[in-house]
Chain A
């Protein structure tokens, strides 16, 4: 894909970081990447670096040694993950789910599917609140939730089952409520909020799409011509 070990990192620093800064999500982005990508990078480094068969050793630690090829591989993989995951996180941090949904719906994305995605996001805090309430209720009935491993395992069913069952009970009511708001009304849906689109956005969108298509096409051709 991208030549060289360092291209990914260069891209990260040159493109993603400035974008994050402009979108004012720099802090959150770094925090999440730290939590998600770093553990991955460390494990790849350890596994590939030390367990690479053959190759050129560059550092000895007793019976095992760090191999150059392994290190290169780890760096390349981590770099790619950094770019891919980082971009995705940046996207979720800078895009409002409801705006995304409206935008997609206006372009023909099925409304019900868009709704499912966005509603799921908003459900999370409620789920957490309910899980906390269930924890309280079961502890008040004498359920031990801390301590030995065995105790914790026994606590799983009484904590998870009410969460699932009560959510299922809610689903019916929520579906009813959505219907009462005309959700299955046929025809085009309008939007209260206007999603402004500057001229350059359309140009950028098309350019990026074409560039992506070109890169995929090039890669495929490259593979086939070998």
Chain B
């Protein structure tokens, strides 16, 4: 069971900025977690501790029981995949196919397995038609999908998504949503850092709100996203439907349209006093 055990994690950058302060949390295998909060709250810093890109100044981070301080990021790449925000920071191969195969090849798999997983990953992001294209011949949105496929192909038990919906159009956001659901159905742990609070509400059961390097709130999305007061501390607005439900005094915190309408019925037609 590849879980994530973070114990009293504190981290200070060499520049002196204390980015994380005594963060303690546990993420079980297969959980879907969204981390929200304003820029500078420590979200990305936290995420980078999960694959060893950053090592704790104090406290510990254990992934699948292994202490991240004892492993290099490249070694941890077989358990934790990290999809960065800017695909242009990764793409260097002459074809989408080669690009997607790069990660698995680094993991030392044999060619047949690499090709199989790469093909599946490319399919998940709807880029089968562009397999032989040069990534830079594709549009920026398509390049983001290539970068996503490149990490999916590594089939890691934990996948971290850094701002997966930034700059995406409607179809792009839907695709990322589908990928998240597919990963969850396969039992993968998905951790997303996101500003898109509506995306967060629709796809992640658990929400962690960070502010000033600390965890302000951690719990089921339904509960956390309804706490407008705490969210405001990290300059986060609740999702649209929760705001609407609050204004209409429905007493519910709906994460989807279905839930909203159900809440409407309950409050107005059925359980009315």
Contact = CB atoms under 8 A, between A and B. Distances in A.
Given A162-B89, A166-B89, A140 B51 contact: yes
A140 B82 contact: yes
Contact of A169 (B88, B90, B92, B151): B88
Contacts of A134: 89-90
Interface in A137-171: 137-146, 157-158, 161-162, 165-166, 169
B72 A141 contact: no
B169 to A, nearest CB: 19
A199 to B, nearest CB: 44
A219 to B, nearest CB: 50
A157 B92 contact: yes
B136 A165 contact: yes
A133 interface: yes
A145 B72 CA distance: 10
B86 interface: yes
B92 A162 contact: yes
A182 B87 CA distance: 31
B199 interface: no
Interface residues of B, number: 26
Contacts of B151: 140-141
Nearest to A151: B74
B244 interface: no
B102 A137 contact: no
B148 interface: no
A158 B106 CA distance: 12
A179 interface: no
B103 interface: yes
Nearest to A159: B92
A43 B150 CA distance: 48
B81 interface: yes
B154 interface: yes
Contacts of B92: 157-158, 161-162, 165
Contacts of A146: 72
B107 A136 contact: no
B74 A133 contact: no
A140 B73 contact: yes
Interface string B65-93: 00000001110011011101010111110
A158 B101 CA distance: 13
A136 B154 CA distance: 16
Contact of A139 (B73, B78, B102): B73
Interface string B95-108: 00000001100110
Contacts of A143: 74, 106
B48 interface: yes
B136 to A, nearest CB: 6
Contacts of A158: 92, 102
B88 A141 contact: no
Contact of A137 (B72, B84, B106, B136): B84
Given A136-B53, A161-B92, 7 more contacts: A137-B82, A140-B73, A140-B81, A141-B154, A142-B154, A145-B74, A162-B89
7 contacts: A134-B89, A136-B73, A138-B90, A139-B74, A141-B90, A142-B78, A165-B88
